[in-house]
Structure 1
Amino acid sequence: MYSDRALVIGAGFAGLLAARVLSESYGDVVLVERDTLTTDAGHRAGIPRAHHPHPLPARGAEALEALFPRIGRELENAGAVRADLGSDCLHHFPAGPAPRDHLGLSVLSVTRVTLDRIIRRRVLRLANVSLVDGLTIDGLLHDRGTVTGVHGRRGDRPFTDYADLVVDASGRDSKLVSWLAELGVHCPAPRIVHGHLACSSRLYEVNRDLDLGWKNACEITHVPGTTRGGAVSSVDGSRWLVTLFGADGDTAPADDDGFLDHATSLRCQDIAEIVKTATPASAIHRAGNPRNRWNRFHQVPDWPRGLLALGDAVVSLDPVHGHGLTVTALNCADLRALLREHDLAGEPLVFQRAVARAARFPWTFATTADLGRGTRTLPLRARLLRWYSGRVLGAIPGNRRVYRAYVRVSQLACHPVALLSPAVLVRVLLAKTLSGRRPRATAP
């Protein structure tokens, strides 16, 4: 059965996936977007972190494939690189390198521009989906507890559109809380955990003379003491995306000399070799410390009918953990399943509770590290999580079973309880603790 009309605010990753799902249940789906888009739009203001990594872990790729059959192959044909998280990835932890065995669990490395372009093409081919761009939404239309549409402006002209269902997928910059306040609907204060990790990224042309023996590499930071890290992803077929991390006041560099000095100070010297020898294909783009924010819309008892919110508009996570795209894809998988059984325009909290359930573990995973970098005393549960996560990281080098469990959990492919199985628990508790000492810089 089709309802008449759905309107999605935002034509980024979340909005495109939501429109794909809604096209199965609504006769007319309209995407409204602030930026002016073309079919092959490049970097744009609405996705300020598009210059930085956007890996698609196994769970996210699976959810995306369910919505867009064979999209994985299409992305690979466009240059995305699939890497096994064991054999194809060089992963350095503070206690040493991870095992390099084949895990059968892969990550799809792709630039955000390529990912959005391929998905946008797919969505806009749907007969009942249309796009209105260059449009700023200023608020919601409503009638007796029901959202009935949106109002805003397109250039210097006012804009009004009506819909049976409005979905906010406008991302981190969502103004939904203030729009709801204008309707007399007040949300609980959001949960906020400030990030403590800045990053700088640059694209390089692949240097074929470097035989590195891997597709992706990563060296993580860790509290206390390990304040520098870096990552390299093979993207778009013939490029490397190099990202350098600085934590706890260790600044991510924004100049050529600083970029090289930072890379040289890492244990993973392959990153430094790329920076030294490969040809830059972009400027250096720096991003500050993003915060983790959770708008608890599932706890609003008078949440209006006809309104849903998903993706970063609800839960925005520190991007360094790479969970944002996957959580959004899972939100849309839940949306698809719930639309088969519920009139979500009339029962919106059914969906908002599903969004909250999907966010619980990624939120804990992201904020456990960030809370540890603060100065305030943590609750006992948070201290225990920090202690055990440090033990897990310390046990990974040379321990295939622990690393396999860690990867599956961190990729959202397995429940966190896997890290507490007897076989893993014993190895974790017997492992040495992390020293937390930062590796010394070596001469370039």
Structure 2
Amino acid sequence: MSAMYSDRALVIGAGFAGLLAARVLSESYGDVVVVERDEIAAEITSASTSAITSASTSGTAGYRAGIPQAHHPHALLARGADALEALFPKLGAELHAAGAVQADLGSDFMSRAPAGWAPRDPIGLSVHSVTRVTIERIIRRRVLKLPNVSLVDGVTIDGLLHDRGTVTGVHGRRAGEPFTDYADLVVDASGRNSKLVSWLAEHGVHCPAPMIVNGHLAYTSRLYHVNHDLNFDWKTAYEITHAPDTKRGGAVSSVDGDLWFVTLFGAGGDVAPTDDDGFLAYATTLRCQDIAEIIKTATPASKIYRVGNLRSRWNRFHKVPNWPRGLLALGDSVLSLNPVYGHGMTLAALNCADLRELLKNHDLAKEPLVFQRAVAKTGQIPWMSATTTDLGWSTKKLPLSTRFAHWYAKRLFEVIPGNQEVYRSFIRVSQMVDHPARLFRPAVLMRVLSGSRPRAKAR
């Protein structure tokens, strides 16, 4: 159990990261208030278990301006699912009851690298396939049932209250009126559009320029009602892009009981259209023709949405020597990775796992850099993974280490088809269960360097 340090904590943002932060802080603070820009209290008050299920399967209900990425798939990696289950016991069962589809990352996934189809043998790692709207709604309901957690919605935060090196609260607007709230600890979980850097600058706290890597990627997504006449033997099918030649990819996942989430990827200048005919025509260019078959025959459950200019950004708050007391930042506010790779929810869960552990022995309101350094440490490997992949589309000369990583990844993907040992290792690393060093173990390294690949089974 965490120690009780003070009376009041305030969390900016009622999204995934903010809700998890509030859950953790409820163990150490007598009063936790979550301040949210969108108006969501009415939805929470009126929601019931049946309403939650029906809303999630409507294809349009539950979306809000604060989570624009919710119109696209969200992956909760295996390691993130474990961290989330520790914060919310039996959450997996609750997600399953709400329609989440549990799938083995080997036998239930049909995946294609540029060189061919990956093995379909069971891996023993499974994930829940679920929309962002559904998982966030279930977690929000759990968090707001805690007796010392409350929500104030419809608030636009304009800045921090600051007194002699300590953040003491926030100020902003609500329903056209000034809004001010004080707290012993303020946590910024407002996401990739966080204004924390400029808020700090107003008080003379200047952050290093963020590291930014543009992935030059775009994705276009649509929900479909499952067509039960299509008897597929998978729960998720996907085809990856890979620099410099494979510019198109796509994915389809079974989600929320009776929906398919279809997404088309574009890299190196390729972008999937948002009109019906163009969306289908783009899908027909993929080797995974099940995606096009769904678009042809299934009934749409949403509009087509597209987002481009996908990039990764790291605000290096751990390097700010005069970082104020009483302030923490986590999730996408600190490290927002190209969402194509699905790290976001997992990193938020790991940040909050670190927060929970550190609060056992530290008053983080007085030692905030202890936490910010932990956030940076947790983010190093996913940052390296996402940005190294994205730099494959760069036309600039890259460092030798990056060029070696690209060379090794190319060789690895060439031997994945038909090679269960290599594929299992790749999946465990990509799911953040194992360290990337697993990809250099002798059993994998020998196959990658020799290019040895068993004959792939016909799909």
TM-score class, shorter: over 0.9
Q: Displacement of 1:411 after TM fit?
A: 0.5
Q: SS of the residue aligned with 2:227?
A: coil
1:71-90 to structure 2, matched below 5 A, reads 71-90=91-110
Deviations 1:54-78 (A, max 9, x none): 0212111100000000011101110
Q: SS of the residue aligned with 1:288?
A: strand
Q: SS of the residue aligned with 2:120?
A: coil
Matching residue of 1:440 = none
Matching residue of 1:219 = 239
1:277-288 to structure 2, matched below 5 A, reads 277-288=297-308
1:94 counterpart = 2:120: no
Matching residue of 2:28 = 25
Matching residue of 1:243 = 263
Counterpart contact for 1:6–1:164, Cα < 8 Å: yes
Task: Give 5+ residue unaligned stretches, structure 1.
Answer: 434-444
Matching residue of 1:4 = 7
Which residue identity lines up with residue 397 of structure 1 in the other structure? P
Matching residue of 1:439 = none
Aligned length: 433
Q: Give the whole-Å Cα distance in 2 for the aligned partners of 1:319 and 1:183.
A: 32
TM-score w.r.t. the length of structure 2 is 0.93
1:141 counterpart = 2:144: no
Which residue identity lines up with residue 394 of structure 2 in the other structure? G
Q: Give the whole-Å Cα distance in 2 for the aligned partners of 1:224 and 1:157.
A: 53
Q: 1:124 aligns with which of 116, 119, 144?
A: 144
Deviations 1:204-249 (A, max 9, x none): 1111111110000110000111110000010010010000011111
1:306 counterpart = 2:326: yes
Q: Give the whole-Å Cα distance in 2 for the aligned partners of 1:107 and 1:231.
A: 15
1:431 counterpart = 2:443: no
TM-score w.r.t. the length of structure 1 is 0.96
Counterpart contact for 1:81–1:109, Cα < 8 Å: yes
Q: SS of the residue aligned with 1:141?
A: strand
Identity level (%): 72
Which residue identity lines up with residue 190 of structure 2 in the other structure? S
1:157-172 to structure 2, matched below 5 A, reads 157-172=177-192
Q: 1:382 aligns with which of 398, 402, 426?
A: 402
Q: 1:259 aligns with which of 275, 279, 300?
A: 279
Which sits farther off after the overlay, 227-236 or 367-376?
A: 367-376
1:350 counterpart = 2:370: yes
Deviations 1:152-195 (A, max 9, x none): 01021001111000000000010000011011010000000012
Matching residue of 1:360 = 380
Which residue identity lines up with residue 338 of structure 1 in the other structure? L
Matching residue of 1:441 = none
Which residue identity lines up with residue 33 of structure 2 in the other structure? V
Counterpart contact for 1:297–1:314, Cα < 8 Å: yes
1:405 counterpart = 2:425: yes
Q: Give the whole-Å Cα distance in 1 for the aligned partners of 2:75 and 2:244.
A: 26
Q: Displacement of 1:369 after TM fit?
A: 1.4
Q: Give the whole-Å Cα distance in 1 for the aligned partners of 2:235 and 2:341.
A: 19
Task: Give 5+ residue unaligned stretches, structure 2.
Answer: 48-60, 454-459
1:16 counterpart = 2:19: yes
Q: Give the whole-Å Cα distance in 1 for the aligned partners of 2:184 and 2:64.
A: 30
Matching residue of 1:115 = 135
Which sits farther off after the overlay, 35-44 or 270-279?
A: 35-44
Q: Give the whole-Å Cα distance in 2 for the aligned partners of 1:220 and 1:431.
A: 20
Counterpart contact for 1:394–1:432, Cα < 8 Å: no
Matching residue of 2:457 = none
Q: SS of the residue aligned with 1:196?
A: strand
Counterpart contact for 1:57–1:106, Cα < 8 Å: no
Matching residue of 2:411 = 391
Matching residue of 1:35 = 38
Q: Give the whole-Å Cα distance in 1 for the aligned partners of 2:77 and 2:294.
A: 24
Q: Give the whole-Å Cα distance in 2 for the aligned partners of 1:431 and 1:134.
A: 57
Q: Give the whole-Å Cα distance in 1 for the aligned partners of 2:386 and 2:160.
A: 32
Q: 1:295 aligns with which of 315, 322, 325?
A: 315
Deviations 1:95-122 (A, max 9, x none): 0000000001012110011011000000
Q: Displacement of 1:432 after TM fit?
A: 7.2
Which residue identity lines up with residue 38 of structure 2 in the other structure? D
Q: Give the whole-Å Cα distance in 1 for the aligned partners of 2:206 and 2:98.
A: 45
Q: 2:173 aligns with which of 150, 153, 157?
A: 153
Which residue identity lines up with residue 9 of structure 1 in the other structure? I
Matching residue of 1:436 = none
Which sits farther off after the overlay, 50-59 or 402-411?
A: 50-59
Counterpart contact for 1:5–1:27, Cα < 8 Å: yes
Q: Give the whole-Å Cα distance in 1 for the aligned partners of 2:111 and 2:127.
A: 13
Q: SS of the residue aligned with 2:68?
A: coil
Q: 1:270 aligns with which of 290, 293, 296?
A: 290
Q: SS of the residue aligned with 2:309?
A: coil
Which residue identity lines up with residue 413 of structure 1 in the other structure? V
Q: Displacement of 1:196 after TM fit?
A: 1.3
Q: Give the whole-Å Cα distance in 2 for the aligned partners of 1:52 and 1:109.
A: 12
Matching residue of 1:229 = 249
Q: Give the whole-Å Cα distance in 1 for the aligned partners of 2:273 and 2:239.
A: 16
1:324 counterpart = 2:344: yes
